[in-house]
Structure 1
Amino acid sequence: MPHPLTSSFRVETLRSGEQFRAAAALYTRVFGYDRPEFSLNPNLLSALARNGGSAVGVFTSQDDLIGFAYGFIGRDANGDEFHYSQAAVVDAAHQGEGVGRLIKEHQRRVALGWGHRTMRWTFDPILARNAHFNFTSLGAEGIGFVPDYYDRPGTDRVVVEWALDRETDPYEDLRRVAPPLLGPTDWGRVTRGTVAAADGTVRRAAWLAVPSTRPGSPVDPAGRTDVAALRARLRDSLTMFVTERSVLVACTRINATTAAYLAVERLGGEQAR
């Protein structure tokens, strides 16, 4: 059961060697890494924090680090610059307490302080909870998709872009649209339709069904999801969205088994990627 937001947490930019070491340890523990090449160097975090990047943490009242994110300045092939958030982690004991939101909002302030106007990061498209946070909670968009982002199987990633100083969200009303009734047999497949915006205009839309929780969890039907096959279907569908220049604007839970992404045509004024 989610815990209520806790006001005793504090969020700050990491500055000391002790904090950077604690962040590296939290990162390794949360991701379950046991190979040295996947570890995080505290010296790197210090250098990033001093030179246009971010290293932010959330602490309990007992000064325990329970959340952490880091990033750096990036530039894509089009010459667009942004703050790239490489990772954000939350201690498992504090999931659902609003720690992730505290992290991203502080990282946003740090990025704006460096003069960045957008932030990007990636996430695994099979994780509906992360998608809901990115799109529905933060108000970011899925602007791209990269197969095998880390050059190894199982690392397909959706590219997220968050406008840090946008005064109005052009997709705000669309993020609240209820998806159609979809189930496990629809996972990874696209359902076409339309959605009505607040101004009455009707826009083409597509729903992409995914598991509402990580495959293999207790609500996974019979616990027999073929994850490799599901990832292949998701790859095909997300690649199609990129080809169509659609953006992902929401991921909504339908029931205990299924959630659905909403992909819509890019609205006027939004730069194509």
Structure 2
Amino acid sequence: MTGRGAAVNVSTIRELHDMEDFEAVSLLYAEIWGSEPGSSPISAEVLRALSQAGNYVAGAYEDDRLVGASVAFFGEPIGATLHSHITGAVMGRGVGLALKTHQRQWALARRLTRITWTYDPLIRRNAYFNLVKLGARPQEYLTSFYGAMDDAINGGDESDRILTAWDLTAPAPPEVIELPPGTEHAILDHNGRPETVATDADTVLIDLPDDIEALRRTDPGAARAWRLAVRHTLGALLTEGADVIGFHERRRYVVQRPTPHP
């Protein structure tokens, strides 16, 4: 076992099958998301059904205490894809990475080659984790995907999400990305607010706010401005077929426009 503050070892993660464990996961999620009592992001009953049907429900433990959990179900294309619906963990102990590593091994053991999930494109730590630590790549921009949400993390903002795919057979990408010559900003952080820049560059940068979750509480207007700027810019680029090829300096997307055909 690892001590507090240290990374959790993959051996502390196990699949869950008992109602007592599912209830603990539901309560942990409610705590992480700051949900109202009885309004956890997922109920113990749904976890029971998913597990019974052969899907992925796993918990991470530190000294026998639940510190993270992940839930996934089979997706399209069937036989190749696992869709990771929700992963929650205490921060700063490497729990999230350990869960994703376990999830990857579980998928590969079932001959799956792809894991998909959604995340809020404005949360920098999640973008860095998904794109750099795991090597997943954004596929589609989904506007107000879950509708209105009133938990402590999402409250007061629209639930835009990025659908992301992790190719389990691909080599890990480099952690530091070299920007191609001629790279320009499409969204620039200007004193804490987004500044949209008109550019025809083949490769563009999209800055993110320092802490969108804090900004939602302290300056809802600025948070709204970031939501709309990233939605319109990144969303349009992905719709056009652009590729997010990396995450630069832990604060900005690197997006490459599609090569025009003659």
- Would you say how many aligned residue pairs link Structure 1 and Structure 2? 241
Q: For residue 207 of structure 2, what is the aligned residue in structure 1?
A: 209
**Correspondences of 1:1-16 after superposition (within 5 Å):** 3-7=5-9, 10-16=12-18
Q: Does 1:129 align with 2:125?
A: yes
Q: Distance in 2 between matches of 1:25 and 1:209?
A: 34
Shift of 1:55: 0.7
Mapped contact 2:138–2:244 kept (Cα < 8 A): yes
In structure 1, C-alpha distance between the alignment counterparts of 2:54 and 2:98, rounded to whole Å: 20
Aligned with 2:135: secondary structure?
A: coil
**How high is the TM-score relative to the length of structure 1?**
0.76
Q: 1:175 to 1:250 in 2, by over 3 A?
A: farther
Alignment of 1:96-175 (within 5 A): 96-152=92-148, 154-166=158-170, 168-169=171-172, 172-173=173-174
1:188–1:231 Cα contact (<8 Å) kept? no
Match of residue 24 from structure 1 = 26
CA contact (8 A) 2:8 2:98 kept: no
> How many angstroms apart in 2 are the aligned matches of 1:173 and 1:190?
28
After superposition, the C-alpha distances for 1:184-220 in whole angstroms (9 at most, x for unaligned) are: 35736368587xxxxxxxxx31110111323536xx9
1:170-181 aligned at under 5 Å gives the runs 172-173=173-174, 176-177=177-178
CA distance in 1 between counterparts of 2:206 and 2:141 reads 14
Partner of 2:36, secondary structure, is: coil
| Equivalence for 1:74 | 75
| One-letter amino acid of the counterpart of residue 242, structure 1 | L
Q: Distance in 2 between matches of 1:104 and 1:174?
A: 18
Matched with 2:151 is none
Task: Find 1:47's aligned residue among 46, 49, 54.
Answer: 49
Q: Can you give the 5+ residue segments of structure 1 that lack an aligned partner in the other structure?
A: 195-203, 268-273
Q: Could you list the per-position Cα deviations for residues 237-266 of structure 1 after superposition, in whole angstroms to 9, with x for gaps in the alignment?
A: 122112221122322346xxxx21111257
Instruction: Tell me by how many angstroms 1:157 deviates.
Output: 0.3
Secondary structure of 2:103 counterpart: helix
Aligned to 1:201: none
Let me know the Cα RMSD of the aligned residues. 3.2
1:262 to 232, 241, 254: 254
The letter of the residue matching 1:41 is S
Q: 1:114 to 1:190 in 2, by over 3 A?
A: farther
Unaligned runs of 5+ in 2: 149-156
